[in-house]
Amino acid sequence: MTTTALPDSIEQLLHALRRLVRERRFTFVFVATLALGLAANMAVFAVLDAYLLRPLPYPGSSRLVEIYTNARKIHLQRLSSAAYRVLKRLPVLSDSGLIRDTRTATVRLQPGTAPHLFPAAYVTASLFPTLGIPPLLGRWPSAASRKPGGPREVVLSKALWQSAFGGNPGALGKTLVLHRQAFTVVGIMPGTFAFPSRRTKIWISTRLHNENQRNPFDEVDSLMIARRAPGVTPGQLQDALDSGFRRLMRQASPLLQAFVRHAGGYAGFRTLRHGLVGSTGKRLLIIQLGAGLLLMLAFSSLTNLALVRQLDQFHEAALRTALGARSRNVIPSLLGEAGILAGLATLLAWPLARLGTRAFVSFGIASRHTAFRTGQSAWSWLALWLLATLTAFLVIGLPRLVLPRRNLRALLAGGSRVLESVTIGSLRVGLSLVQIALAILLLVATVLVGTSLAGMLVRNPGFRDRHLDVAEVLLPTADRQHWTRFQADEGELKQLLEGLPGHPAVGIGLGIPFLGGNRSVFVRGLHFHPGKRNVFASDMIVGAGTLPLLGVHLQSGRLIGERDIVENAHVVDVDQSLAEGLFGSTHVLGKTISGLDSGLRIVGVVGSIHDRLDPADRDLHGTVIYPDERSIFPVALGGPLDVLLRSRTAPSRLHREIASALNRTLPDLVLARFTTLRTVIRRSVRGTFALVSLIGAFGLLALVLASIGTFGVIAYLVSTQEREFALREALGATPGAIAFQVFRKGVWLWLAGSALGVVAAWWATHLLAHRLYGLDASRPLGYILPVLAVGLVVLAACGIPALRLRRLSLLRVLRS
């Protein structure tokens, strides 16, 4: 029995292959539709698998956590060095390390040579044993490097070791000059080690100086990586952090304690995976949802296609049944067809999925951390083929279940009774409603997210960003710690830039909108007025002439000037949003607020500055602008100088001139970044733009599939009523009246599908509004445009069957 079953199965497989070759159009459409749905889901799932499912490349990665201090009213999720000294002693932690900063480092590979810029991480030596990745060569920084007077040591990435030293093991022990200080190379990390990001090329062992005496909430800019002790549960870790946070609060000043309580401060933790994924995880889940909807749409389209095909082959199936064919004999044929179609679809989906994965990287999604290795493995393709086979089997087999097979007389009599089957008609109409609803859902999401993105890019940011170039300049570490050196560097830099060909207008500051060069170390302040409500705001420090150069709109009062800086005046400018948030009006000149300092007198009000495009900034109510003075200097340490330039010179040429002038005149100052401000603004919404693009592609493809499905249903409905329409015409009905009957069916499908789609879209977009900043789910235009677009497609789909109906011969229809 087994020997005969195998040849029968092979014969059924060959028969299925020959049938698919004969039905080339069906095979092509089926394979292309299934491949598109599979490729979209495979590309997204490959990234999701890397980010959310695969273990991190660190031993015992499930016990690795990020520990931070945060506030419910303002997003920080960072830690001060003083707080690290307290929390690292918690017995629930077995190891811990600190990332003090991640920024570009000025490195001289040999003493006396030209400096190079490398992305660097300033870390404590204990970070490496906490992660548990041994070096490729050499060793980790020693414990002595953490102590004052200890050796200064660095670890290089494999890429930097190969590019700078040619992969020579003799690089160990070499001396590098970083910010005028000599460091010894003690280790080379493996090529797979990328922490905290893929860009990091050098890890610099940092020291904690006298942090026990400092405010535990000052300079909240570090990141603590720790490993839970064996057997410690997340609940026990949180209890220990709560106890440690209370100790931190007791060390703070009364004013700062009030600030932390108002902000809802607490100590918390998250898994290291969660910290590395960040907001990318939410974007990926949203995109995966869109890809899943697209696969559902493809499934309904394929089912409709398979039903049409089965109706065309109805006489063959009837004859086989009449000759004694049984249902079990059909199963091998169905499996053969499904396997062949799934195999072809998988082969086509493979390059498309790879292109989709690359698109994620090029768009800036799923490319931040190389700890996540994206790609499709062999087992995933096998699983995809099995999924495609199951999908194809269900799609091809479903029409056979709904077609009548027991009434032999009906089967042999012809297809009219079958075509008029209520079950078949309801199935086809239901599938088309699903297609229309899903198309509208995806298109609404595209329009709403896209218009929100356009609003971010087009709206006035509160200053003139046109022809405005920006640069970030790194100062020597020692100069950033002394006010007189800092002021001297700032003055020399401005004089140098103003003397360039073209004489650009120059403004210098920190926390300039959209740059955020010092946002990690410059804590956004809690600003308040006695007896009034307290609000959080972005803080910006400006030099003389910076605000006029930025092009802010002065509404009342005056802008901060050089005299305010020289006299160390306790004055500020505020934007309209902050004035209204604090006082309920913009008539605030002469009023006093508190924040980074007490007794700050408002001397000017500018238009609202719109630089907050991230959900973490929802609780910020405006911007306060400080003069670049001595009293503000201690809170502005650590970040680069933000430089604004307006010039008629092309940005590329100006970039070369600035870099050359700095190397020639001020070699200790390093140009870390130069670009146009508009480019910075666009990059700030890059992730949202990628989301819009991908969902938009899904929406357009959904519209195409919905168009094909709607056309098929209308054509089917027309074919089932051809005799009825012929009789109507014979009895005096005009062609226009008959065409109206056809269009009425299409309009009914459109209205019913639109109702389902709008309800689903309303629910989905309100869900997305809590995860995407700036998304307004209540815009009527975002729902009207997709409904109208689908309506036009439906009308076009109705027009073709209506024209075909008018060309039919009345006599031929009646005789048939």
Q: Which residues contact 381 (CB under 8 A, 6 or more apart)?
A: 346, 350
Burial 517-554 (b: 16+ CB within 10 A, else e): bbebbbbbbbbbbeeeebbbbbbbbbbbbbbebbbbee
What pLDDT does 445 receive? 79
* CA distances, 400 to each of 237, 410, 424, 703, 713 (Å): 58, 15, 11, 28, 18
Least confident of 88-102, 192-206, 628-642: 628-642
Least confident of 403-417, 418-432, 482-496: 403-417
What pLDDT does 418 receive? 47
Could you give the dihedral angle defined by the CA atoms of residues 452, 457, 458 and 459, in that order, rounded to the nearest 10 degrees? 80
| Mean pLDDT for the stretch of residues 154-171 | 90
SS3 426: helix
The answer to whether 107 and 477 have CB atoms below 8 angstroms apart is no
What pLDDT does 687 receive? 64
More confident residue, 237 or 594: 237
Tokens 């709403």 sit at which residue?
A: 448
Q: DSSP letter at 805? A: H
Q: How far apart are CA 64 and CA 223, in angstroms?
A: 13
Helices 378-402 + 327-363 axis angle, to 10: 130
Rg (CA), the chain: 34
H helix runs in 666-734, sequence order? 677-684, 686-720, 722-730
CA angle 517, 118, 98 (to 5 degrees): 70
What's the gap between Cα 684 and its chain centre? 11
**Closest by Cα among 568, 579, 631 to 604:** 579
What's the gap between Cα 74 and its chain centre? 21
Mapping DSSP onto H, E and C, the string for 492-515 reads: HHHHHHHCCCCCCEEEEEECCCCC
What confidence tier does 64 reach under pLDDT thresholds 50, 70, 90? Answer: very high
**Closest by Cα among 463, 495, 515 to 673:** 515
| Mean pLDDT for the stretch of residues 220-236 | 89
What pLDDT does 2 receive? 47
* CA distances, 655 to each of 145, 494, 652, 679 (Å): 38, 15, 5, 15
Least confident of 424-428, 560-564, 625-629: 424-428
| Mean pLDDT for the stretch of residues 456-483 | 75
What's the gap between Cα 254 and its chain centre? 40
The answer to whether 597 and 631 have CB atoms below 8 angstroms apart is yes
What confidence tier does 723 reach under pLDDT thresholds 50, 70, 90? Answer: low
More confident residue, 503 or 598: 503
**What does the pLDDT look like over 490-513, one tens digit per residue?**
888 888 888 888 788 888 888 788
pLDDT at 396 over 90: no
| Mean pLDDT for the stretch of residues 83-90 | 89
Q: How far apart are CA 292 and CA 311, in angstroms?
A: 29
What pLDDT does 224 receive? 92
The answer to whether 184 and 175 have CB atoms below 8 angstroms apart is yes
pLDDT at 203 over 50: yes
More confident residue, 523 or 496: 496
Q: How far apart are CA 339 and CA 342, in angstroms?
A: 5
SS3 342: helix
601 membership: H or E segment, kind and range: strand 600-606
What pLDDT does 415 receive? 46
**What does the pLDDT look like over 110-141, one tens digit per residue?**
776 777 878 889 899 999 999 999 999 999 99
What pLDDT does 32 receive? 83
Query: Which amino acid is located at 350 in the chain?
Result: W
**What does the pLDDT look like over 784-804, one tens digit per residue?**
888 888 888 777 777 776 676
**What does the pLDDT look like over 746-779, one tens digit per residue?**
788 788 888 888 888 888 887 777 666 666 777 8
The answer to whether 537 and 621 have CB atoms below 8 angstroms apart is yes
Query: Which amino acid is located at 85 in the chain?
Result: R
Q: Is the dihedral of CA 659, 660, 662, 663 positive or negative?
A: positive
pLDDT at 86 over 60: yes
Query: Phi, psi (5° rounding) for residue 147?
Result: -95, 150
Q: Which residues contact 360 (CB under 8 A, 6 or more apart)?
A: 43, 47, 366, 367, 374, 690
The answer to whether 73 and 227 have CB atoms below 8 angstroms apart is no
What confidence tier does 243 reach under pLDDT thresholds 50, 70, 90? Answer: very high
CA angle 444, 792, 709 (to 5 degrees): 80
**Closest by Cα among 697, 778, 771 to 286:** 771
pLDDT at 214 over 90: no
Query: Which amino acid is located at 366 in the chain?
Result: A
Percentage, residues of the chain above pLDDT 70: 74
DSSP-derived secondary structure for 102-169: EEEEEEESSTTSPPEEEEEEEE-TTHHHHHT---SEE-PPPGGGGSTTS--EEEE-HHHHHHHHTT-G
Record the tokens describing residue 453, joined without a space: 């993105």
Which burial class, exposed, middle or buried, applies to 815 when counting CB atoms under 10 A from its CB (0-12, 13-18, 19+)?
Answer: exposed
What's the gap between Cα 22 and its chain centre? 45
Q: DSSP letter at 476? A: P
* CA distances, 810 to each of 335, 420, 724 (Å): 43, 20, 11
Q: How far apart are CA 673 and CA 644, in angstroms?
A: 12
What's the gap between Cα 468 and its chain centre? 27
What pLDDT does 155 receive? 94
| Mean pLDDT for the stretch of residues 780-787 | 85
What confidence tier does 486 reach under pLDDT thresholds 50, 70, 90? Answer: confident
The answer to whether 554 and 670 have CB atoms below 8 angstroms apart is no
Record the tokens describing residue 581, joined without a space: 């948030």
Q: How far apart are CA 205 and CA 183, in angstroms?
A: 9
Question: What's the mean pLDDT when you consider all of the chain?
Answer: 77
Query: Phi, psi (5° rounding) for residue 27?
Result: -60, -45
The answer to whether 88 and 226 have CB atoms below 8 angstroms apart is yes
What confidence tier does 232 reach under pLDDT thresholds 50, 70, 90? Answer: very high
The answer to whether 687 and 521 have CB atoms below 8 angstroms apart is no
Q: How far apart are CA 765 and CA 290, in angstroms?
A: 12
| Mean pLDDT for the stretch of residues 699-725 | 66
Mapping DSSP onto H, E and C, the string for 152-195 reads: CEEEECHHHHHHHHCCCHHHCCCEEEECCEEEEEEEECCCCCCC
pLDDT at 518 over 50: no
What pLDDT does 252 receive? 81
**What does the pLDDT look like over 269-324, one tens digit per residue?**
999 988 888 777 777 777 788 788 778 878 877 887 777 777 666 656 555 555 55
SS3 95: strand
What pLDDT does 137 receive? 92
What pLDDT does 814 receive? 52
**What does the pLDDT look like over 244-272, one tens digit per residue?**
999 888 888 777 787 788 778 889 999 99
Query: Which amino acid is located at 77 in the chain?
Result: Q
Q: How far apart are CA 35 and CA 385, in angstroms?
A: 11
pLDDT at 514 over 50: yes
The long-range contacts involving 234-243, CB below 8 angstroms and separated by at least 24 positions, are 234/269, 236/92, 237/65, 237/92, 237/93, 237/269, 238/268, 238/269, 240/90, 240/91, 240/92, 241/67, 241/87, 241/90, 241/267, 241/268, 241/269, 242/266, 242/267
Percentage, residues of the chain above pLDDT 90: 11
Q: How far apart are CA 52 and CA 64, in angstroms?
A: 15
Record the tokens describing residue 233, joined without a space: 């549960």
The full length of the chain comes to 816
The answer to whether 634 and 481 have CB atoms below 8 angstroms apart is no
pTM comes to: 0.70
What pLDDT does 48 receive? 83
